[in-house]
Amino acid sequence: MHQPLHNDRLLRALLREPVDVTPIWIMRQAGRYLPEYRATRARAGSFMDLCRTPELACEVTLQPLTRFPLDAAILFSDILTIPDAMGLGLYFAEGEGPRFERPVRSAAEIAALAAPDPEIELAYVTDAVRLIRQELAGRAPLIGFSGSPWTLATYMVEGGSSKEFSHIKGLLYENPAALHQLLDTLASAVTAYLNAQIAAGAQAVMIFDTWGGSLTPSGYREFSLHYMQRIVEGLTRENEGHRVPVTLFTKGGGQWLEAMAETGCDALGLDWTTDIADARRRVGGQVALQGNLDPAVLYASNERVAEEARKVLAAYGDGPGHVFNLGHGIHPAIDPERVAALVETVHAGR
Ligand code: CP3
C-alpha cells in the first residue's frame, strides 16, 4: 500500500542501529518561523481549522521537508486535540496561547469525561496521517505524537497555559483520587489515539510531557511516568513489518532518565539542560537519545549555530543511537537560514 522508505536514518537511530549520518528533525519544524506556514495558516483561518483540514495539515507538514533535507516529517496537529474532542472547547486567543472554554476542575466534571473514539471525533487526524504518508512517498518517515496524560491534564484543569499550576496542584494535593481518575481516562485516550495514528501510517511516535518537570520526584513517578508507562505498554509496536519506535520527552526531566528508560520506550528526548554525554553514560545502553541543542542558539550566526551543533554531536560521541533535535520547539522569530545551516552541519558530522 505504501511506497518504500528511501530514508530510514531516523528509524534506525531510534532503534540504535548504525546510520550513515546523524538524522535530524526539529520540534515545531512546521510553524510560524516559516513564511509559507504563515501563508497557509492565513488561508486556513484559525489554527484549529488548519489542524482539522487534512489537505492543509498535509501541506504544512511537508513544507519544512521541501525546504530542508530533514530526516523526518512530524504530523501537523496539536497535543490539545484530545481534550478538544472530549468537549472542552479549545481555542487560541491571540497572543495568549491555548485556552479551553470549559475547563474541568471538580471530581464530578472529571467523572463525566470519556475517552474519545479516535476514528470518530479525531478522524481528521488519522485522515491527515494517511494523506501525509501518501504525499511523503517514502521521502522520510512520519512521526505521530500525543501529549502525556499529566501534560494534557494541566491544560484541562488550568483552562490553558500556566506558570504556577495552582489548580492542578491543588487537585493533586487535595483530591489525588480525582486526578488519578482524570489521568486514567487520558491514558486510555492517548493509547487509542496513538494506536490509531500508527494504524493510519505513523512510523514512530513521540509523547510530549511538557510539564512533567513541574512535579516533585515522587509526584513525577506517580502522576506522570506511571501513565506514560501504561501507554508504552499498550502501544502497537510493530506495523507494516517494522518496529514502531516510541520516544518519551519530559521537559525538565533530566534527573529522571533512568526511570524513563525503564518504561520500555525506545528513545528519550532531552531538553538542553541535560548534558547529552552524561545522559548517554546513564541510559545509552538501553535507549536512543534525541536532542538537545538550546533552541536559542538559532538566534546566533550560522557559524555559531554550526559550532554549537558540533558540540552536541561530539558530546554524544561515536556509535549509533543519536537523533539530533533542539531541546524544545523552534521559536517563531528564527530565520529559516539558521535551520538550513544546522541541518547541513549535522549531516556533515563533526
Ligand atoms: O513539531 C511540529 O512541527 C508538529 C506540530 C506541533 C504543534 N504543537 C503545532 C503548533 C506539535 C508537536 C505540538 C505539540 C504541543 N502543543 C505541545 C507539546 C510540545 C511542546 O511544545 O512542549 C504543547 C504544550 C502544545 C500546546 C500548544 N499549542 C501551545 C503552547 C501552542 C503555542 C501557542 C502560541 O501562540 O505560541 C500551541 C499552538 C501551536 N501548535 C502552534 C503550532 C505550529 C502555533 C499556532 C499558530 O500557528 O498560531
Question: 349: Cβ below 6 Å to ligand 1?
Answer: no
Look at ligand 1, atom 34, and give the residue with the nearest C-alpha. Answer: 97
Cell numbers given for 134 = 501518501
Residue 2: the pLDDT is 80
Residue with cell 518504561: 263
> Has 2 been labeled as part of a binding site?
no
Interface predicted TM-score (ipTM):
0.92
pTM score: 0.97
Residue 313: the pLDDT is 98
Name the residues annotated as catalytic.
28, 32, 41, 78, 155
Q: What is the pLDDT along the chain (350 residues), one digit of tens a residue?
A: 688 999 999 999 999 999 999 999 999 999 999 999 999 999 999 999 999 999 999 999 999 999 999 999 999 999 999 999 999 999 998 888 999 999 999 999 999 999 999 999 999 999 999 999 999 999 999 999 999 999 999 999 999 999 999 999 999 999 999 999 999 999 999 999 999 999 999 999 999 999 999 999 999 999 999 999 999 999 999 999 999 999 999 999 999 999 999 999 999 999 999 999 999 999 999 999 999 999 999 999 999 999 999 999 999 999 999 999 999 999 999 999 999 999 999 999 98
Cell numbers given for 119 = 476514528
Residue 1: the pLDDT is 65
Confirm if 214 and 224 have CB atoms less than 8 A apart. no
Closest CA to 204 of 120, 136, 137, 144: 144
Q: How far apart are CA 230 and CA 10, in angstroms?
A: 25
Closest CA to 41 of 49, 77, 33, 29: 49
Q: How far apart are CA 190 and CA 48, in angstroms?
A: 19
Instruction: Please tell me the distance between residue 92's alpha carbon and the centre of ligand 1 in angstroms.
Output: 11
Cα dist from 166 to 80, 91, 154, 216, whole Å: 20, 21, 10, 14
Confirm if 215 and 252 have CB atoms less than 8 A apart. no
Residue 94: the pLDDT is 80
Look at ligand 1, atom 30, and give the residue with the nearest C-alpha. Answer: 97
Cell numbers given for 221 = 513517578
Closest CA to 342 of 294, 312, 302, 311: 302
Q: What CATH number was assigned to the domain covering residues 8-348?
A: 3.20.20.210
Residue 232: the pLDDT is 98
Cell numbers given for 287 = 535507549
CA angle in degrees (0–180, nearest 5) for 304-308-314: 145
Question: 41: Cβ below 6 Å to ligand 1?
Answer: yes
Confirm if 71 and 9 have CB atoms less than 8 A apart. yes
Domain ranges of the chain: 8-348
> Has 210 been labeled as part of a binding site?
yes
Q: Which amino acid is at 200?
A: A
Ligand 1 atom showing the smallest separation from residue 161 Cα:
30
Cell numbers given for 235 = 502501544
Q: How far is CA 114 from the centre of its chain?
A: 23
Cα dihedral sign, 141-265-124-239: positive
Q: How far apart are CA 258 and CA 286, in angstroms?
A: 9
Q: How far is CA 206 from the centre of its chain?
A: 5
Cell numbers given for 206 = 513521540
> Has 282 been labeled as part of a binding site?
no
